[in-house]
């Protein structure tokens, strides 16, 4: 973490590891205030080469820390691959949207995300095992339907929503294709 000439700080990380995955070369310009840290235009290709990422981390109340992020032209392909053991699942397309994540005493107390794509893309499940981490959350019929519906699926518009409902985190995928229908 270094202070730059303009009074901002820059957090440079050559490598960030998550289990057996690695994110390289991350540079985050930070504005640090009494109870917030703001960032704008993170320099990393993790969410895509043209992604714009900005946000505010509010730590005024240490028991309720909230992060609000705005994404522009962000790809979720690498995020999905962080949680998947195999890379047989691809989500191609750039999304815009917002995410709010709050932690209360280290546990997720609130998560709201809404991301949309109007330029199209593709969802491709090459191997069923690539979504194996979802099997513990879905019954067999739901899991099989998910895999079958997203093999080689090209979409024109897509929307991803994430929310916390009770103790569960719900992920809603809504894709529309002129040729292949809605999923």
Residues 130-147 have pLDDT tens digits of 566 677 777 888 878 877
pTM: predicted TM-score of the whole model, two decimal places: 0.79
Q: For residue 61, what pLDDT is reported?
A: 85
Residue 79 and residue 61: Cα distance in Å, rounded? 28
Q: To 5 degrees, how large is the angle CA 60–CA 101–CA 84? A: 140
Q: What's the distance, Cα to Cα, between the start and end of the chain in Å?
A: 44
Q: For residue 82, what pLDDT is reported?
A: 67
Residue 180 and residue 122: Cα distance in Å, rounded? 11
Residue 68 has pLDDT above 90, yes or no: yes
Q: Closest Cα to residue 173, out of 117, 126, 128, 102?
A: 117
pLDDT in tens, 154-163: 999 999 999 9
Binning pLDDT at 50, 70 and 90, where does residue 87 land?
low
């Amino acid at each position: 973490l270094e202070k730059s000439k303009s009074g901002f700080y820059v957090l440079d990380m050559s490598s960030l590891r998550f289990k057996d995955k690695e994110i390289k070369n991350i540079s985050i310009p930070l504005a640090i205030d009494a109870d917030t840290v703001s960032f704008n235009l993170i320099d990393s290709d993790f969410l895509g080469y043209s992604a714009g990422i900005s946000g505010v981390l509010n730590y005024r109340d240490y028991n309720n820390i909230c992060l609000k992020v705005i994404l522009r032209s962000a790809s979720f392909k690498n995020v999905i691959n962080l949680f998947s053991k195999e890379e047989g699942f691809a989500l191609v397309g750039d999304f815009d949207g917002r995410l709010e994540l709050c932690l209360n005493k280290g546990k997720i107390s609130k998560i709201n995300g809404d991301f949309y794509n109007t330029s199209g893309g593709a969802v491709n499940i090459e191997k069923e095992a690539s979504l194996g981490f979802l099997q513990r959350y879905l019954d067999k019929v739901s899991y099989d339907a998910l895999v079958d519906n997203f093999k080689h699926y090209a979409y024109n518009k897509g929307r991803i929503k994430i929310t916390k409902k009770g103790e569960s985190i719900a992920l809603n995928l809504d894709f529309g294709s002129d040729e292949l229908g809605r999923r």
